[in-house]
Amino acid sequence: MTIDQLKQQFEILFNQQALEGYFCPGRVNLIGEHIDYNGGLVMPCAINFGTWMLLAPNEDNVFRFRSVNFEEFYETGVQTAYQKTGREWYNYPLGVLHHFVSDNKTVKGLDVLYYGNVPIGSGLSSSASIEIATAYAFNQYFKSGYSKLELVKMAKSVENNFIGLSSGIMDQFAVAFGEEHKALMLNCDTLEYEAVDANLADNVLAIINTNKPRKLAESKYNERVQECQQALEALQQELKIANLCDIDTDTFKQYEHLITNKVVQKRARHVIAENDRVKLAAKALAQHNLAEFGRLMYASHHSLQHDYEVSGAELDAVVEYSLTDTNVVGARMTGAGFGGCAIAIVKADAFEDYREKVINYYTGKIGYAPSVYATTISDGVHELID
Ligand code: GLA
């Protein structure tokens, strides 16, 4: 859908022209998985898929949230608080609105239309994309005076307290602060970050969507968060640490016996090793050592598969194939897992060949085809200028 088509849709649906437009991307995480809620280092980047949002004020002082992707829509008056209603998509903008009014920000009714091309539930942060698009747009339109970091924290709170997923801050941060051709080295404990060159030389960043419907992903995600909390409490019997990522693998080996539950011990092992890998990956990227970066991606996947157990036959099949293809520098699952997407760094001139072969391998093993795209690393949320 082009922006002009979206504007036309807006006129058809709301009988008036859109006044402002915004875009917020989705994200991939290059490395540093399931460690944002453990105070770790992550390396996400914003991508050229995302959510477009058009708005205009209305006479009726009501919020009308519509999307061209879904039939369901929501309409509500201006209230002092809102509650999650069902499991529909519009809970994300509703949660953002709730946070604005709870913070006593003045808002007035708006007609809002969204269009997203981030595959939903695919691990590319379609939810952070719509949250940040909405928070950023409201902040601009109502002149509410939030900083971008405050909007990021608000969107995380929408996810945690309105939607009910105990997620970390990586996704909202990445889609808000992303920069073209850069990966964000984000310390999820201090929220300090650096935009580093994601120099992929003559390679492209491929996204392989397993097209596996994510079932139970939310409860499994929250279960992992709790397991990490248990591991932390066990280690805190002897170590003065606030987060699992405050220690490295060598220290962990000395104290891992404190965690008596073997499953919980494995979870902690992943978290701590993954944090070490991000440090090495940052070094490798700075030294243009893509081969080492790729090795770390594979190691990350292995750890997510065996110690953290958030992969699955589908994501593993993508990585299994990638390991056999000499045109692939590295591959791994990205995002929460349990289905969703994998990423691979692939020689640009061999991308079509890779695409065909990974589709064949995957289809043979899993029984249906994945979707494979080449993506570019893009800017974070911004207003659309005519
Ligand atoms: C989801 C969450 C993030 C992060 C990743 C896993 O995308 O929203 O906060 O925990 O999973 O790294």
- Residue ranges and CATH numbers for the domains of the chain are 3-198+379-383 (3.30.230.10), 203-375 (3.30.70.890)
For 290-346, what is each residue's pLDDT tens digit? 999 999 999 999 999 999 999 999 999 999 999 999 999 999 999 999 999 999 999
- For ligand 1, the distance from its centroid to the CA atom of residue 28, given in whole angstroms, is 10
- The CB of 307 under 6 Å from ligand 1? The reply is no
Q: Give residue 58's pLDDT.
A: 97
- The CB of 131 under 6 Å from ligand 1? The reply is no
Mean pLDDT throughout 46-70?
97
Q: Give residue 82's pLDDT.
A: 97
**For residue 356, what are its two tokens?**
């065909």
- Name the nearest CA neighbour of 290 among 187, 202, 186: 202
CA dihedral 274, 264, 169, 298 (to 10 degrees): 30
Q: Report the percent of the chain where pLDDT is more than 90.
A: 96
| Atom of ligand 1 at shortest range from CA of 167 | 9
Mean pLDDT throughout 241-249?
98
- The CB of 170 under 6 Å from ligand 1? The reply is yes
| Non-local CB neighbours of 213 within 8 Å, separated by 6+ positions | 121, 339
Q: Give residue 119's pLDDT.
A: 86
CB 186 within 8 A of CB 152: no
Q: Give residue 377's pLDDT.
A: 97
Q: Give residue 337's pLDDT.
A: 94
- For ligand 1, the distance from its centroid to the CA atom of residue 221, given in whole angstroms, is 9
Q: Give residue 84's pLDDT.
A: 96
- Which of 122, 170, 244 best tests ligand 1's pocket when mutated (most atoms within 8 Å of CB)? 170
Q: For the chain, how far is it from start to end, CA to CA, in angstroms?
A: 17
Return the minimum-mean-pLDDT range out of 118-122, 179-183, 305-309, 335-339. Answer: 118-122
In this model, does residue 216 exceed pLDDT 70?
A: no
| Atom of ligand 1 at shortest range from CA of 128 | 8
CB 344 within 8 A of CB 208: yes
- Which of 36, 38, 309 best tests ligand 1's pocket when mutated (most atoms within 8 Å of CB)? 36
CA distances from 97 to 81, 93, 105, 158, 165 (A): 8, 6, 10, 10, 18
| Atom of ligand 1 at shortest range from CA of 34 | 12
Amino acid at 30: L
For 271-291, what is each residue's pLDDT tens digit? 999 999 999 999 999 999 999
**What's the whole-model pTM score?**
0.97
State how far the Cα of 241 lies from the Cα of 247, in Å rounded to an integer. 8
CB 195 within 8 A of CB 282: no
State how far the Cα of 286 lies from the Cα of 265, in Å rounded to an integer. 32
- The CB of 274 under 6 Å from ligand 1? The reply is no
Residues designated catalytic: 171
Query: How many Å separate Cα 302 from the centre of its chain?
Result: 20
**For residue 280, what are its two tokens?**
């090495």
Protein residue whose Cα sits closest to atom 2 of ligand 1 = 167
Mean pLDDT throughout 13-20?
98
- For ligand 1, the distance from its centroid to the CA atom of residue 310, given in whole angstroms, is 11
For 84-103, what is each residue's pLDDT tens digit? 999 999 999 999 999 999 99
In this model, does residue 32 exceed pLDDT 90?
A: yes
